[in-house]
A and B are shown apart, each in its own frame.
Chain A
């Protein structure tokens, strides 16, 4: 495994006219990067070009020492030849196969059978899928299907995992759970991961690097704190912290957040806590209040 180096150029015709996609970035081995930005910015196209589902005009894609694409050298590996994991937004499981068959079909012919079975059961257990093993893919709920899709994507031990808004079709609660599963997999297998996401909360929870794309160019790149500190939130005070607890109090909820070494209590209403749970990394922003300055020394 090694660093992933990507440099891509392509003109795309989108909903709002011609889009000139021109990006260059590196993904350190084992990193988790989220590709954000408005729809139509070219996020999915970048993912599809890395996967070999869309041909760039020029550029290069290197995964460690392996060349997947290099326009100067005239190298273009077909999608089938790129050892990768890819998760689609709409799961794309093979509906007439059971979960077990989906995973076995995904394995490559060269994988050792005994070791493969071991790996399949390990992944199934991590993803809480063992009990669904003999169910047809088409009979599962959205969240279950996406868990299978995630498991299927990593069966072959790909060095690179690509996810195209994998949780966009799920409700907030399920999305939260899926993030936990994904983090668990990422910690266990240290896959270099590139994920397209619209969701700021998701980005803060999962990514160590965020790349913001706009009209085909990367306009902002850095840690979640850095990126969202420069985003269009026009807050004046901004802290990041970790949710310690959420307590119900009459009709509102009190969220305790650890900011630095201090605990802060924030009152929120019910629909705001849907996405929150203890352990989440959050950003605390305040727009309109009058700070009082007291001299302490």
Chain B
């Protein structure tokens, strides 16, 4: 019988990360999609960085940043009694940075696909930007919100390098499924590694299938004909 704790921990990490990412992703993507600020390409590049960098690079710098030897790590430890290395909280923060592009990019694409006229129509009716966002834009880009959330969830499930660097392998705290697999192979206990791997494969397939199924049913730009 395998130890299910790493699987549950993985799902918990992915769930919390996706939720937090959604909360910061919506305002960020909204601003990025509609701003004409010159800083936009800089931000776009920064957000996309985790797509191209080895996760170990991100993990390494987070480790340096949050260790007790750095001013930030010291400050967090002293005033918030929060340690972001070798802790679940640290994993959430690292995962959020790591999965940020998977949340922000689909949301941005969604916001950009809404014709300008729609926002103008709300403005000439006297609606504030916030009312327009909540009542008009978010319902319109619902497929993008679902895609972004599920992709962030799935991507967080699959991370390894960042977790290894900043989280290590503490049972029930930072030992997620991908780390557990690595440990079983090192031992070596191939049957256990197989179990974890097959469970991850099933979950990943189910999630991705869900994305394509939902978006296939609800065509992405079904209001495009409205101009």
* B227 and chain A: residue at smallest CB distance: A90
B116-129 Cβ-contact flags toward A at 8 Å (1 or 0):
01101111111110
Cβ contacts B99-134/A at 8 Å (1 or 0 each): 000000000000000010110111111111000000
Query: Shortest CB–CB separation between residue B137 and chain A, in angstroms?
Result: 10
How many chain A residues touch B (Cβ–Cβ < 8 Å)? 29
Which stretch in A93-101, A119-127, A267-275 binds the other chain? A93-101
- For window 84-101 of B, CB contacts with A under 8 Å fall at none
Known A80-B128, A81-B126, A83-B126; judge A95-B222 contact (CB<8 A).
yes
The reply on A53 being an interface residue by CB < 8 A is yes
- CA A94 to CA B118, docked complex, whole Å: 7
B117 and A79 contact, CB distance less than 8 A: no
Also in contact, A91 and B123, with CB within 8 A (given A80-B128, A96-B139, A96-B140): no
Whether the pair A53, B226 counts as a contact (CB closer than 8 A) is no
Across-interface contacts of A105 in B (CB, < 8 A): 125, 127, 135-136
Q: How many A-B residue pairs have CB under 8 A?
A: 70
Say yes or no: is B61 at the interface (Cβ < 8 Å to chain A): no
Q: How far is the CB of A48 from chain B (nearest CB, A)?
A: 9
A245 to chain B, nearest CB (A): 39
Q: In the bound complex, do residue B117 and residue A86 qualify as a contact, i.e. CB atoms below 8 Å apart? A: no
Q: Give how many B residues have a beta carbon under 8 Å from the other chain's beta carbons.
A: 22
Q: Check if A53 sits within 8 Å of B121, measured CB to CB.
A: no
* B124 in contact with A86 (CB, 8 Å): yes
* Bound-complex Cα distance A10 to B125 (A): 25
A219 at the interface (CB under 8 A from B): no
Q: Is the CB of A92 within 8 A of B222?
A: no
CB distance from B128 to the nearest CB of A (A): 7
CB A224 to nearest CB in B, in angstroms, measures: 28
B126 touches A86 (CB 8 A): no
Instruction: Report if A138 contacts B (CB, 8 A).
Output: yes
Residues A52 and B226 in contact in the complex (CB < 8 Å), given A90-B117, A96-B139: no
Look across to chain B and name the residue whose beta carbon is closest to the beta carbon of A78. B123
Asked if B182 is an interface residue, CB under 8 A from chain A, the answer is: no
In contact, A108 and B126 (Cβ under 8 angstroms): yes
Chain A residues with Cβ under 8 A from B222's Cβ? 95, 138
Q: Which chain B residue lies CB-closest to A95?
A: B223
A51 in the interface (beta carbon within 8 A): yes
A95 lies within 8 A of B226 (CB): yes
A53-B118 contact given A95-B222, A145-B226, CB 8 Å threshold: no
Residue B115 contacts which of A51, A92, A152 (CB distance < 8 angstroms)?
A: A92
A16–B221 Cα distance when bound, in Å, is 33
Query: CB within 8 A of B126: which of A53, A96, A138, A156?
Result: A156
Task: Report yes or no: B126 in contact with A92, Cβ–Cβ below 8 A.
Answer: no
- Cβ B125 vs Cβ A152 within 8 A: yes
- Contact status of A80 and B123, CB under 8 A, knowing A91-B226, A92-B117, A95-B223: yes
**Chain A residues at the B interface, C-beta cutoff of 8 Å:** 51-53, 78-86, 88, 90-97, 105-106, 108, 137-138, 145, 152, 156
List B residues at the A interface (Cβ < 8 Å): 115, 117-118, 120-128, 135-136, 139-140, 142, 222-223, 225-227
